[in-house]
RNA sequence: GCGGUCGUAGUCUAGCCUGGUUAGGACCCCGGCUUCCCAAGCCGGGUACUCGGGUUCGAAUCCCGGCGACCGCACCA
């Protein structure tokens, strides 16, 4: 704890002090894996969500739904989660170290993951014995095996013995409701459906603040298409976008240096198999750039066979470099094929196929799915870490202007001579225009600018004696500390222009030299 | 979950070893004065010994347990 503070530490301190986020249940000592967003944090999260909708969902007319967090057992049995979210672990009798039994069998027993997946708990131990697998560290042997269930379990109804789980992803809500959604979309394909909501995973040891939570907000997009008609019509919009890849074949050789490839090339060389997947990955990169993460701080990792989730046929993780934790996953891009819909079709007996007319009558088929999936809490943290800068020993949170919780702050230069009243007028004018406005009349003007900088408010509006005389105010820019003078009456339209990126700061008025 | 280190206000910290003052300081926050634009100054105010138990006349200090944090192992489908 005596080392120089890293960014996670300073961002967390600032987060607590100014109300971005902190660990939940602090007054009872805190519980790991849960965080609370304070007033500024929940605003930031909301803005990020809104930006995501604007940027990622709306251009493709992706539909958004909301389903419940508790899911009955049969849904997650059908999806394969009940089976796959259990991890068989064994403990060495000598050194007490714990291992994943299935990983041991795959590594030393030359078994495939499909073989180990099917095994019962006792046969895991038997197999370890029959393959004579011993502790890789000390050579001791294993006796007992335990299952660790990473889904939260509950019962549904007061006296009911029906088991329910907290959903480990929002995706299943979409698959389960596919029939009605598809119908209300009048059978259109391709069809994107998204859900932004909480998901639960009972992590064994979540020690990484907002980066690894037991309850978190996930953005799952299921993009359904006809596997025989899978052209992405807008792929050219992203064809020249370059992504940095760490490829599976290189990973096996121990090479982690990324290669930079355009989307076009990646598709031609078969690095990404599906055009829609390529499109979503390119957009994911662009989104992070707009959030303030430069290209060279991002990369895409191709998942190896055994690293992929049970439903995934090809998968990439988008990673962002964080100071404390290194490369950190912020989104996953999986080709889930028809795995989920087929499983639910089989388990429920309900037809989840699509129909497509053609000259010879048409065909019924189960749509395939490309899934981009984002961890929203990680994005919030990433935005904060990348925005956190210092200027003249003062903290400046340089969030993009469409993400800042507070858009403008109103400062009466003095607390007298009618300046307070005038400032109050300005405050209400802007609130009524729909802006998120802060108010600060405490301390010197410099101190107030500093406070606004620290929480990332991009514009300060100072009401001074000039305001009383000619109806002009001073606008101050968070990043450059430059000031311009503009007419109060024009403020609403100027600010609207500024916040939808039509106007730069310099366009807002007459530059002031001091 | 295991091992090691640790836990004093919103933040950083002194004190703990060797038990004994109103637990000290800095930043910060609030109010007032002052101040015509970048954490200025003056006055006043504010918040802390992680929780529970034990030893003791007396515990921030010693002992045990819980909770939490950090590092390592494992885990992160």
pLDDT confidence tier of residue A203, bands split at 50, 70 and 90: confident
What mean pLDDT do residues A107-112 have?
64
Most confident of A82-96, A173-187, A380-394: A173-187
Gap from A28 CA to B56 C1', Å: 29
Higher pLDDT pick, A129 / A60:
A60
Judge if A131 and A162 occupy the same domain: no
Query: Hey, what are A393's tokens?
Result: 């020993």
pLDDT confidence tier of residue A113, bands split at 50, 70 and 90: low
Judge if A129 and A52 occupy the same domain: no
As a whole number of angstroms, the distance between CA A326 and CA A89 comes to 27
Q: Which nucleotide is nearest to A307 (CA to C1')?
A: B77
**Within a 10 A sphere around the Cβ of A495, how many other Cβ atoms?**
23
Q: Does residue A40 lie in a domain region?
A: no
User: What's the domain range around A467?
Assistant: 406-511
What pLDDT is stored for residue A308 in this prediction?
A: 83
Judge if A220 and A362 occupy the same domain: yes
Gap from A31 CA to B57 C1', Å: 39
Judge if A367 and A476 occupy the same domain: no
Gap from A144 CA to B7 C1', Å: 36
Helix (H, G, I), strand (E, B) or coil at A38: coil
| pLDDT above 50 (res A129) | yes
The pTM for the full model equals: 0.90
Judge if A159 and A122 occupy the same domain: no
What mean pLDDT do residues A351-377 have?
93
A78: domain CATH number? 3.30.930.10
Task: With CA atoms as reference, report the closest residue to A201 among A209, A213, A210, A219.
Answer: A213
To the nearest whole number, what is the mean pLDDT of chain A? 89
- The alpha-carbon radius of gyration of chain A (Å, integer) is 27
What pLDDT is stored for residue A154 in this prediction?
A: 87
Question: Which pLDDT tens digit goes with each residue over A329-338?
Answer: 999 999 999 9
Torsion of CA A73, A78, A79, A80, to 10 degrees: 90
Residue with tokens 């400046």: A396
As a whole number of angstroms, the distance between CA A427 and CA A455 comes to 19
| pLDDT above 90 (res A59) | yes
A412: domain CATH number? 3.40.50.800
Query: Hey, what are A120's tokens?
Result: 């019962």
As a whole number of angstroms, the distance between CA A383 and CA A297 comes to 13
State which residue has its Cα closest to the C1' atom of B77. Answer: A309
What pLDDT is stored for residue A2 in this prediction?
A: 39
Strands, E, within A190-297: which ranges? 191-200, 215-225, 242-246, 259-262
As a whole number of angstroms, the distance between CA A335 and CA A337 comes to 6
pLDDT confidence tier of residue A1, bands split at 50, 70 and 90: very low
Question: Which pLDDT tens digit goes with each residue over A2-46?
Answer: 345 788 888 988 888 888 998 888 777 778 888 989 999 999 999
Q: Which nucleotide is nearest to A394 (CA to C1')?
A: B39
As a whole number of angstroms, the distance between CA A272 and CA A32 comes to 37
Spell A420-444 as b/e; 16+ CB within 10 A means b: eebbeebbebbeeeebbbbbbbeee
Gap from A445 CA to B13 C1', Å: 29
What pLDDT is stored for residue A93 in this prediction?
A: 63
As a whole number of angstroms, the distance between CA A451 and CA A486 comes to 23
Gap from A276 CA to B68 C1', Å: 45
Last residue of a domain, one of A130, A149, A168: A149
Q: Which nucleotide is nearest to A168 (CA to C1')?
A: B77
What pLDDT is stored for residue A459 in this prediction?
A: 97
State which residue has its Cα closest to the C1' atom of B6. Answer: A1
What pLDDT is stored for residue A128 in this prediction?
A: 72
A127: domain CATH number? 3.30.40.230
Higher pLDDT pick, A253 / A314:
A314
Q: Please enumerate in sequence order all residues whose Cβ is within 8 A of that of A98, keeping only pairs 6 or more positions apart, or say none.
A: A89, A90, A91, A92
State which residue has its Cα closest to the C1' atom of B13. Answer: A2
Distances (CA, A) of A66 to A193, A230, A280, A463: 10, 27, 22, 44
Q: Which nucleotide is nearest to A462 (CA to C1')?
A: B37
How many domains would you assign to chain A?
3
Give ipTM to 2 decimals.
0.87
Gap from A2 CA to B17 C1', Å: 20
pLDDT confidence tier of residue A119, bands split at 50, 70 and 90: low
Gap from A2 CA to B16 C1', Å: 18
- Which bases of strand B have any atom within 7 Å of the beta carbon of a protein residue? 1-2, 6-7, 10-13, 28-41, 50-51, 66-71, 73-77
Q: Which nucleotide is nearest to A468 (CA to C1')?
A: B36
Q: Does residue A484 lie in a domain region?
A: yes
What mean pLDDT do residues A114-122 have?
58
């Amino acid at each position: 704890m005596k080392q120089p503070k890293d960014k996670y530490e300073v961002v967390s301190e600032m987060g607590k002090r100014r109300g971005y986020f902190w660990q939940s249940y602090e007054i009872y000592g805190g519980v790991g894996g849960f965080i609370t967003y304070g007033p500024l944090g929940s605003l930031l999260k909301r803005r990020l969500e809104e930006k995501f909708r604007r940027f990622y969902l709306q251009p493709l007319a992706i539909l958004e739904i909301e389903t419940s967090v508790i899911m009955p057992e049969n849904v997650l049995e059908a999806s394969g989660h009940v089976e796959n979210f259990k991890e068989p672990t064994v403990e060495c009798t000598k050194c007490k170290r714990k291992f994943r039994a299935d990983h041991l069998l795959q590594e030393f027993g030359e078994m495939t993951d499909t073989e180990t997946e099917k095994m019962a708990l006792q046969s895991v131990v038997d197999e370890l014995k029959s393959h004579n697998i011993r502790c890789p560290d000390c050579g001791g042997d294993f006796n007992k095996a335990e299952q660790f269930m990473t889904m939260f379990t509950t019962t549904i109804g007061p006296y009911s013995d029906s088991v329910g789980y907290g959903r480990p992803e929002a995706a299943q809500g979409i698959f389960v409701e596919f029939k009605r959604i598809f119908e209300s979309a009048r059978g259109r394909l391709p069809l994107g459906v998204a859900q932004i909501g909480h998901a639960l995973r009972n992590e064994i040891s979540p020690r990484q603040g907002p980066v690894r939570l037991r309850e978190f907000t996930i953005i799952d997009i299921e993009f359904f298409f006809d596997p025989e008609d899978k052209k992405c019509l807008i792929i050219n919009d992203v064809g020249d976008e370059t992504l940095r890849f760490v490829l599976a074949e290189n990973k096996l050789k121990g090479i982690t240096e990324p290669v930079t490839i355009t989307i076009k090339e990646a598709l031609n060389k078969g690095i990404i198999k599906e055009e829609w997947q390529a499109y979503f990955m390119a957009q994911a990169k662009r989104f992070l750039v707009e959030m303030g993460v430069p290209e060279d701080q991002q990369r895409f990792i191709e998942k190896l066979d055994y690293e992929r989730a049970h439903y995934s046929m090809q998968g990439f993780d988008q990673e962002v470099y964080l100071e404390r934790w290194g490369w950190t996953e912020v989104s996953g891009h999986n080709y889930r094929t028809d795995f989920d819909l087929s499983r639910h079709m089989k388990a429920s007996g309900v037809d989840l196929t699509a129909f497509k007319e053609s000259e010879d009558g048409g065909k019924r088929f189960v749509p395939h799915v490309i899934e981009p999936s984002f961890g929203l809490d990680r994005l919030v943290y990433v935005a904060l870490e990348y925005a956190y800068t210092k200027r003249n020993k003062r903290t400046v949170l340089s969030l993009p202007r469409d993400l800042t919780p507070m858009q403008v702050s109103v400062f009466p230069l003095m607390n007298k001579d009618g300046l307070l009243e005038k400032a109050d007028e300005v405050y209400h004018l802007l609130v009524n225009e729909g802006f998120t406005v802060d108010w600060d009349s405490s301390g010197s003007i410099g101190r107030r600018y500093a406070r606004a900088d620290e929480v990332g408010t991009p514009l300060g509006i100072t009401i001074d004696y000039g305001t009383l005389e000619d109806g002009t105010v001073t606008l101050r820019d968070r990043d450059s500390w430059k000031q311009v003078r503009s007419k109060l009456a024009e403020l609403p339209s100027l600010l609207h222009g500024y916040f939808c990126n039509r106007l730069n700061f310099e366009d807002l008025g007459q530059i002031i030299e001091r």
